[in-house]
Amino acid sequence: MCKHWAEATILRGPHEDLESYLAAIDVLKSIVHYFTSNKNLKSSDGVLNHVNNLLAKSVVKLEEEFGQLLASYSKPIEPDRLFNCLPNYLRPSAVDQRENGKNHRSEHSAKSSEGAVYKPPTLIPPRILPLLHDLAHQLVQAGHQQQCFKIYSNARAAALESSLRKLGVEKLSKEDVQKMQWEALEAKIGNWVHFMRIAVKLLFAGERKVCDQIFDGIKIPKDQCFGEVTMNSVETLLSFGDAVAKSKRSPEKLFVLLDMYEIMHELQPEFETIFEGKACIEMRESVVSLTKRLAQTAQETFGDFEELVEKDASKTTVLDGTVHPLTSYVINYVKFLFDYQSTLKQLFMEFETGSETVSQLAIVTTRIMQALQNNLDGKSKLYRDPALTYLFLMNNTHYMVRSVRRSEAKDILGDDWIQRHRRIVQQNANQYRRIAWSKILQTLSVQGMNSSASMATDGGNSSGVSRAAIKERFKSFNMQFEELHQKQSQWTVPDQELRESLRLAVAEVLLPAYRSFIKRFGALVDNGKNPQKYIKYTPDELEKLLGEFFEGKN
């Protein structure tokens, strides 16, 4: 009766009642054991052949059931499900808002990865895992380890690769990366950083857990099986990172390289844990290799940037002496660097031994700022008007100082750097004032004004100076001031405080000299013909006109 039940159960298959099916296999195995031990029985050979055939059929049906169960429950995970497993700040809505706000700095402003909670998705329902475990156990016991291995790895690898494709992961070669426009590549790198985090923390971690549960206690190389499942996916993800690391270096790539290095460094310990065992050693080494290559490329890009700043020969000339585009570009670049302080600290540790990484960042930053200053000194010599040369240097150095004071760079460059460059700003302002205004101030000086024979006909005065000479001085003053006004109202001092300070410095020298000159010699002109032709401006009008200087008006 028991034999007939077992046979009927085997022929029916395991799909409806796996527990009974496995019990039937045990019955058949006990029959085999009994008749093998009692070969003298007449019917033993016939029974053994029949039962062994049933057992062979049972293994085939177990394989089919194992494959069907895996196929039914190895479906790709939809992106939305994966996003819901992420900490709130990493979900698409939060990331999109930061990107729309043009905050390139990845998650640096909002990130707190240490306390982040990831909830790996359920890849296979918990009620199905024991069934798969029992099926795998029976297959391995029956000597079908390779078939079990192949069925499992094929099904799970296909599901994993499909999940990543739905997420947006694509296989790109080095040539594909080289051909991409920067904007497109930058977007893909940003996505890749998120994909790596999702792949390792959610998908690979989930696959490891499923593999360990299904093959728990079973003599099958779990690490090798897991490696087979994840190999193509890992290779696809790392090959993109490798292509970027090996692509042509350029300054704008530094920050995305730091993003990539940062995520690889962050995930490396988890990767070591998830991909443990000899079977996964190549994948672990690939992760370490990519992390170091990204660090190397980022460091080389630093050197490139310093050299680029020093040698920048752009023909962009700021005609009004304002802040040069190179200055604002470099300063923004340096500001961004300080959003990556912890990453840079780690990066420097990859190559430096025994030196403080904070000082390394200070050295790099100081060199970049000095390269900028050297370049600006060169650009300033392109101006024909030396007064504009010093105005240009004043504007740009002031922009550097103000930007450093308002950013974390002040803690790295230090107060000495700030004070030294503030003095440079003042020196440039003084040089501008001396060169631009010394000539016109000479027209208001009594030096060089001596009496002449024309005093007799032109009317003498107590100062012993001729009316003609005074008229000539006023005419010269008017002409020079109008020329200065016409020219320097087109020049720009973009910082309001600096602009007001510079106007005040000019006014403090010019207006007292003008008032004194009018007070001393104005009567000579007032008593003659057309006095307004010579004394065209009152001191108040001059002060008002000085208020139009450095406004960049065309």
Q: Tell me, what's the pLDDT at 523? A: 84
Are 331 and 343 within one domain?
A: yes
In this prediction, residues 213-225 reach a mean pLDDT of 92
Does residue 372 carry a pLDDT above 90? yes
422 domain-assigned:
yes
For the chain, the average pLDDT equals 85
Q: Which of the residue ranges 154-168, 206-220, 405-419, 462-476 would you say has the lowest mean pLDDT? A: 462-476
Instruction: Clarify whether residues 425 and 443 are in a common domain.
Output: no
Q: Are residues 337 and 405 in the same domain?
A: yes
DSSP structural state of residue 534: T
How confident is the model over 80-104, as pLDDT tens digits? 999 999 888 887 865 554 444 344 4
Whether 63 is covered by a domain: the verdict is no
> Which residues form the domain of 528?
439-447+466-547
Asked if the structure places residue 404 within a domain, the reply is yes
505 touches 429 (CB < 8 A): yes
Cβ atoms of 131 and 69 within 8 Å: the answer is yes
CATH number, domain of 480, equals 1.20.1280.170
For residues 402 and 494, membership in a common domain is answered with no
In tens, the pLDDT along 23-80 reads 666 665 666 555 666 666 655 555 556 565 666 666 677 788 899 899 999 999 999 9
Query: What percent of the chain stands above pLDDT 70?
Result: 80
Give the separation between CA 50 and CA 48, rounded to whole angstroms: 5
Domain boundary residue among 415, 435, 455?
Answer: 435
Do 319 and 422 have their domain in common?
yes
- State whether 443 and 530 are in the same domain: yes
Whether 429 and 470 share a structural domain: no
Q: Of 519, 511, 522, whose CA–CA distance to 547 is shortest?
A: 511
Residue 454 banded pLDDT, cuts 50, 70, 90: very low
- pTM of the predicted model as reported, rounded to 2 decimal places: 0.79
Tell whether 418 and 500 lie within a shared domain.
no
Q: Are residue 344 and residue 396 in the same domain, yes or no?
A: yes
If asked whether residues 443 and 412 sit together in one domain, one would say no
In this structure, are 428 and 475 located in the same domain? Answer: no
Residue 202 lies in a domain: no
Domain count, the chain: 2
* Shared-domain flag, residues 335 and 361: yes
Whether 72 is in a domain gets the answer no
Give a yes or no: residue 233 inside a domain.
Answer: no
More confident residue, 333 or 313: 333
Give the whole-angstrom CA distance, residue 135 versus residue 131.
Answer: 6
Q: Does 278 map to a domain?
A: no
Q: Smallest Cα–Cα separation from 280: which of 215, 233, 216, 240? A: 233
What pLDDT was estimated at residue 452? 42
Tokens of 389: 């040369």
